[in-house]
Amino acid sequence: MAVMSIADALKSAIAEEMRRDPTVFCIGEDEDIPGGMGGAFTVTKGLADEFGANVRSADDKGFGGTPVPIGEARVINTPIAEIMISGVCVGAAMAGMRPVADLQYGDFLFCMMDQLVNQAAKMRYMSNGQVSVPMVMRAPCGATNRGAQHAQSLESYFTHVPGLKVICPSTAYDAKGMMKQAIRDNNPVLVFEHKLLYGGSRKEAGQLSSAGEVPEGDYTVPFGKAAIRREGKDVTIVANLLMWYRTMEAAEELEKEGISCEIIDPRSLVPFDYDTVLASLEKTGKLMIVHEDHYNCGWGAQLGSYVAENAITLLDAPIVRLGATDTPTPFSPPLEQFVIPSTQRIIEGARKLARL
C-alpha cells in the first residue's frame, strides 16, 4: 500500500495503463509541457518523461519529455480547442486507440456536446456493435470561487444520454481503480473529479485532505457498485464527491443528537447501484439525497423517482433532496457558499427528516 492524493492516484492509474496497453494515450491542454502544471490540477505532470510529448522545450533542444518523433508521442498537448480534443478522441477511439482526455474545467464539456452526445454515445448502437468508442473524458467539477463558467457540476447532463458511462470517484482508492476500469471499458466514460479533492501540488482554498491508501499492484473498481461510507439506522443519505465529505461531517454532529445516518457514496452514476440504496431504506425508511449539481433535474431527482416508483412502501417519510440552488454559481465567495449545500444545511435537513 502507498498513501496517495487523488491527483497522484489518477496519474498512477493512467501511467500503469499506458505501460500495459500501447493504444492508450493522453490528450489535452497543458498535459505536460516544460514549466506547466500537468493539466489544470497536476494529474498528468511528468508523464511526458516516460511516454514522450509533442511539445518542444523552450530552448528547442528536445521535446517536453523523452525526445521521440512527434508522431510517436503519447502525451499530446493541444491548443485551447475543446471541440478539437473531443473530435480527435472520438476518431482515435473508433480507429482502435484508447484516448484519455483532460479538460482544464468540466464546464468546457459544453463545447464538445455534438461529439460526445451525437457521436461517441451513439456509434456503437448505430453500427450494431461493429464500432466501439473506448475513450475517457476527465472533467474537473465543483465550485471553487471561479465564477459561473468555471464552477459547475454537470453530471446530470450526461446521465441523461444513453451510451455514456458517468463516474465520480471521491477517494484515492476509487480514483485509481475506477480510472483503470474506465480506460479498459469499450464505451465512452466521463470521469467527474472535484477540484477540492485532488490534493497534489496545486493548493486550492478550501481543499480537503482526500489522501488515502492505494494498492501498489493492479486492481480495478467496477462501475455500478456503491460504497457504504458509514452505517446507520435512522436516515439514509446518498451523496457524491465533495458532498459525501460534508455529509460525513454532518453525520458526526447528528450522532451527538442520537440521530444515526447511513452514508452511501454512489461512485458511479451510470450505471447506478439502486440495490444498495433500497437495502439501506429497508433499515432506515428515510432517504435524503445531496449533490452539488443543481436541484432541478439533478441526478438526485432520478434516484428519488426510482425509489418512489419501485419501493415507495419502504419510505416512512417524504424524500428530501439538497442541491445547488437553481442559479448560475456566483463569483462572490459568500454567495457561492449560500448556493452550494453546506454541512449545516445537511444537518438541518437530516434532523428534520429523522424527526418525521
**pLDDT of 284-330, one tens digit each?**
999 999 999 999 999 999 999 999 999 999 999 999 999 999 999 99
The model's pLDDT over 153-165, given as tens digits with 9 standing for 90+, comes to 999 999 999 999 9
Type of residue at 142: G
pLDDT band at 63 (very low <50, low <70, confident <90, very high): very low
Report yes or no on 280 lying in a domain: yes
The model's pLDDT over 3-51, given as tens digits with 9 standing for 90+, comes to 999 999 999 999 999 999 999 999 999 999 888 889 999 999 999 999 9
Report yes or no on 55 lying in a domain: yes
Least confident window among 62-66, 85-89, 326-330: 62-66
The percentage of the chain sitting over the pLDDT mark of 90, rounded to a whole number, equals 87
Q: Does residue 261 register a pLDDT over 50?
A: yes
Q: Tell me which residue has cell 480507429.
A: 95
Pairing of strands 227-230, 261-265: antiparallel
Report yes or no on 158 lying in a domain: yes
pTM of the shown model: 0.94
Out of 150, 194, 291, 294, the active site residue is: 150
- Which of 186, 214, 242 represents a domain boundary (last residue)? 214
| Whether residues 64 and 163 fall in one domain | yes
Report yes or no on 220 lying in a domain: no
Distance between first and last Cα of the chain: 44
The model's pLDDT over 112-121, given as tens digits with 9 standing for 90+, comes to 999 999 999 9
> What pLDDT does 60 receive?
43
- Which of 187, 214, 241 represents a domain boundary (last residue)? 214
Q: Does residue 247 register a pLDDT over 90?
A: yes
Does the annotation mark 160 as catalytic?
A: no
Domain span including residue 340: 227-354
Report yes or no on 105 lying in a domain: yes
Mean pLDDT, rounded, for 131-138: 98
| Whether residues 100 and 237 fall in one domain | no
Q: Name which of 316, 338, 321 is nearest 329 in CA terms.
A: 338
Helices 299-310 and 274-284 sit at what angle, rounded to 10 degrees? Answer: 60
| Whether residues 157 and 29 fall in one domain | yes
pLDDT band at 71 (very low <50, low <70, confident <90, very high): low
- Cell for 321? 433532496
346 neighbors 291 (Cβ within 8 angstroms):
no
Q: Tell me which residue has cell 505532470.
A: 45
Per the model's pLDDT, the better-predicted residue between 33 and 257 turns out to be 257
Sheet strands (E) in the chain: 2-4, 24-28, 75-77, 98-102, 136-141, 165-167, 189-194, 212-214, 227-230, 235-239, 261-265, 268-270, 287-294, 320-324
User: Number of structural domains, the chain?
Assistant: 2
Phi, psi angles (nearest 5°) of residue 273: -95, 85
The percentage of the chain sitting over the pLDDT mark of 70, rounded to a whole number, equals 96
| Whether residues 242 and 170 fall in one domain | no
How far is it, in rounded angstroms, from Cα 47 to Cα 62? 16
pLDDT band at 56 (very low <50, low <70, confident <90, very high): low
171 neighbors 309 (Cβ within 8 angstroms):
no
Q: Does residue 259 register a pLDDT over 90?
A: yes
Pairing of strands 268-270, 165-167: antiparallel
Average pLDDT along the chain: 93
